[in-house]
Structure formats: C-alpha cells, structure tokens
Amino acid sequence: MWRNQLSEKHFDQEVQRYIAAQQNFSFVKLLGFGSYGRTYLIEEKSTKKLFVLKCLRLKHRRHQKTKSKFMQEIEILQRLSMPSIPSIQSTGTIQDIPFFIMDYINGQTFEQLIFDEGQTFTISQSLFITKQLLQQIVVLHENSIVHRDLRIPNILFANQQLHIIDFGLATFKKNVDFSLIDNPKQAENHISDLYFVGHFLLFLLYSSYKPSTSKEKPWQEELALPNDITNFLERLLWIQKPFNSSMEALQLLPIKK
C-alpha cells in the first residue's frame, strides 16, 4: 500500500509538471480521488477561469476494462450538451494515463448542504428540487445515457441550478427485462437512476426530520408523508411497481404547495 501511495504522489508531481509546461494553464491543487479517477483543479492564466483535470488512477493503468470505462466517460460527456453538466474542453495522456479537462462548477453538493451546512428542506422544496433533477435525467435518457451514481455527493447546487457530476459509472442505456434485474443500482436502464432519485428525495425529506424516539422505524412511519408521496417513493425504490420511464416519473411527481 505504501508503494502505491508513493506512486500516486509521484504521478501528482507528473501532472503538475505537465500543467506547468502548458502556456495557458497553471496548477492549483489536488481536488480528490475516487475508486477509478483522480481530479485536479487548474486555472486558465488569461481568464482566471477554473477547470478540472480528471485522469485515470495510476493503479488502473494496465487494466484495459477500467481504461475503456474511463474512455467511455469521455465519450458520454462529449455527447451531452447540457448547461447542468460539465463540458469537456480537451483530452490527452500523461505518461500513457488518459485524462480530460472539463468545466469546474463552483457549488456545493447536497451532501455538503445537508450534513455540513445543516440545511433543511420542506416537502414542497424537496419535490421541487426532485423535479429539477428528473428533468435533467429525462434529457440524459433521451440521449441513451444512464448515470447510475446519482448520490448526494454527485449532485451540485450552484447559481440556483442543479448540476450532475461524476459520470464514471455512467453507461449507454439498454433494453433490460425488469424481471432479470437483481440490483436496481446497477441496472443499465432508467431503473437505476430512478432508484437513486428515490434515495436522493429521502435525504431531502429527512433533512427536516426530528425523531421523537430513539427506536428506528421504517421511513414510511418516521416521515408520515401524504399517501401520494409515499406511493411515488415506493415506485422509485422498487417497493411498488416501478415507473416505465423517467418521463413517466416526472409526469406523476406529486407537487405540494
């Protein structure tokens, strides 16, 4: 493990050297890393505009399947043209490690808003935010793309707008028989994204929940939601018959004033 960590630190230095050799960019800092990718913040010298350089993690450089998945992420982002999703500016390699440079979105994730900032959302606000998210998901699905990782760390709020980030697990949508799906999170169709939307909505609703007892109960009992919202959530979460599409979910979303 120590040698792997050292290698990644060495690669961080390689990235800094690469950026330093570019006339139009300067290196700012390491942003973070996940299972497959590593991200860095860089700045365009002439405009002071910030961008993100994302590269495949060094430990995956000889894993062709993971490398292909990373290249698919690039292909997916290049296919999309949505203001709510980062645009790719350029691609390349650093010591045979593929990377791409994309727009930096300066906002806060819903994980930060809820758990760091302590922000709470009413039922009405939660449904309105979910509507915005579903509208974006409908566009993804119309482009035959499924995100498959719509967790609260991957949904940003910036300039009064929702943004979806991290397409590392995204795939091209397939026609999948519902009866053959074992894990809705990994489904290569709309089921996966709607399942994550269900959990996203639950996080929003729980943000204002104050337990009256230490005994944990099912969310249906703890939140005591109106029946139409409970039914909507249960369809998202595969407890009841799932929606046939993200558009159907959007059209049937209960709106509370």
**Same domain membership, residue 227 and residue 173:** yes
Distance CA(30)–CA(120), nearest Å, equals 30
Q: Are residues 81 and 151 in the same domain?
A: no
The CA-atom distances, in angstroms, between 64 and each of 38, 56, 60 are: 17, 11, 8
233 and 215 housed in the same domain:
yes
Say yes or no: 93 and 117 in one domain: no
For 137, phi and psi rounded to 5 degrees? -65, -40
> How buried is residue 90: exposed, middle or buried, by Cβ count under 10 Å (0-12/13-18/19+)?
exposed
**Residue 149 annotated as catalytic:** yes
Q: Is 241 annotated as a binding residue?
A: no
CB 140 within 8 A of CB 188: no
CATH code of the domain containing 115: 1.10.510.10
Co-location of 135 and 192 in the same domain: yes
Task: Note whether residue 257 is domain-resident.
Answer: no
Co-location of 63 and 132 in the same domain: no
User: Exactly one of 12, 149, 193, 228 is catalytic; which is it?
Assistant: 149
> Of 60-64, 145-149, 207-211, which one has max mean pLDDT?
145-149
Please tell me the pTM assigned to this model: 0.91
181: enclosing H helix or E strand: none
Same domain, 15 and 82: yes
Q: Which structural domain range is residue 51 located in?
A: 2-103
Q: How many domains does the chain have?
A: 2
Last residue of a domain, one of 69, 103, 137: 103
pLDDT digits (tens, 9 = 90+) for 89-103: 999 999 899 999 999
Q: Is the pLDDT at 1 greater than 60, yes or no?
A: no
Is it the case that residue 257 has pLDDT exceeding 80? no
Q: Are residues 54 and 112 in the same domain?
A: no
Same domain, 65 and 81: yes
Contact 56, 11 (CB under 8 A): no
* Last residue in a domain, options 103, 127, 157: 103
Structure tokens at 130: 């979910």
Is residue 119 domain-shared with residue 205, that is, in the same domain? yes
**Do residues 225 and 130 share a domain?**
yes
Type of residue found at 101: I
